Each structure stands twice: as structure tokens, then as C-alpha cells.
Amino acid sequence: MSQEFSEDLYWRIIYLHADGLSTVNIANTLRLSKGVINKIIRRYNRWACVKNPFKGIPGRRKLFSRADITLLRSLVGKKIDWYLDELVYEMECLTGKRASIATLWRSLQYLGITRKKLQKAALERNEIVRAYYLATISAPKKIRSDLGSADLIRVRSVRFSKF
């Protein structure tokens, strides 16, 4: 990994170049390589700055700022019995940022807040939703009445055959 120099050293390179010194003289004066000198001069000529404008912290940008995290911590402190979906909705209302449940969960883990056990009311609600889903997918499908039973058997055998 290459060594990162300070910004004032980069500006010193630009000032010496503006004074008319050659790349070799700047390299000898500051005891840097000619490649570093040329790179900084090219960057300044192209972008008018000495720091790389496209270099940043690798990875995805954080959704919640420090103020948002502080708000989340106080919200969890006030509303201890809220579930993650309720926290997501409240954080969206307060900060204007839409976060997924997984993102909120990672933020809570970052704060050191552990998960809560599912209470009986929520468990019963989830069981009702699950039972409705199972009833919907297991409902008998309507068979077309315009096809006879022989046609239906032939269609099935053609569909499942390898030919």
C-alpha cells in the first residue's frame, strides 16, 4: 500500500511548480520521487485540487448519521416494548430516511442492544397470518369445466411426459 502524504506537502509541490521549478528540482528539494510529483501536478491541472476527489471510505455509505443513532438509542430507551417494524416506521417519521428491518437491526447491534423475545400477542398474530397463508395456498384450484375428464388426463400426461 502506498504511503499517503499530507495535504500541505502536496500544496508545496504545486507552489514550487508554479514558481517555475522543474519536476527533478522539486523531487530533489522535497526528497520525493518524480512519479509522485507528476501525479500531484496532473491531479491539480485536471481537478484543481491536490487530494483525490474520488477517493473515499470504501464500502456503502451509512444510512444513519451519529445524530440518527443517538435518536434511535433514545427512542429504544423510551419505547422498550416496540418491535422492529414499529421502530422502522418511527425512524422514518423522525428522520425522513427509509430503512429496512435488517438495517435497523444492524444499527441496534452496533449500539449493543439485543433482541427481545416474542410476546404471546405477537406470536398469536403471526400464527393467524401463517394459518391464513397456508389456507390460501392449499385451497383447491378450479378445474376448467369445458374440458372433459379424458382431456384433462391427456393434458396432464402430455405436460409431465419427457417428449
CB atoms closer than 10 angstroms to residue 64 = 19
Q: Is the pLDDT of residue 118 over 70?
A: no
Give tens-digit pLDDT for 133-145. 667 766 665 555 5
Mark whether 115 and 66 lie in a shared domain: yes
Q: Which pLDDT belongs to residue 158?
A: 46
CB-based contacts of 41: which residues, under 8 Å, 6+ apart?
13, 14, 17, 23
Question: Residue 149's pLDDT band (boundaries 50, 70, 90)?
Answer: low
- Is residue 159 scored above 50 in pLDDT? no
Instruction: Report the alpha-carbon angle 121-125-126, nearest 5.
Output: 120
16: containing domain: 7-47
DSSP string, 16-56: HHHTT--HHHHHHHHT--HHHHHHHHHHHHHHSSSS-TT--
- 106 within domain boundaries: yes
Residue pair 10/50 in contact (Cβ under 8 Å)? The answer is yes
Q: What's the pLDDT at 122?
A: 59
pLDDT digits (tens, 9 = 90+) for 31-81: 999 999 999 999 999 999 998 877 777 777 888 999 999 999 999 888 877
Domain count, the chain: 2
Q: Is residue 154 part of a domain?
A: no
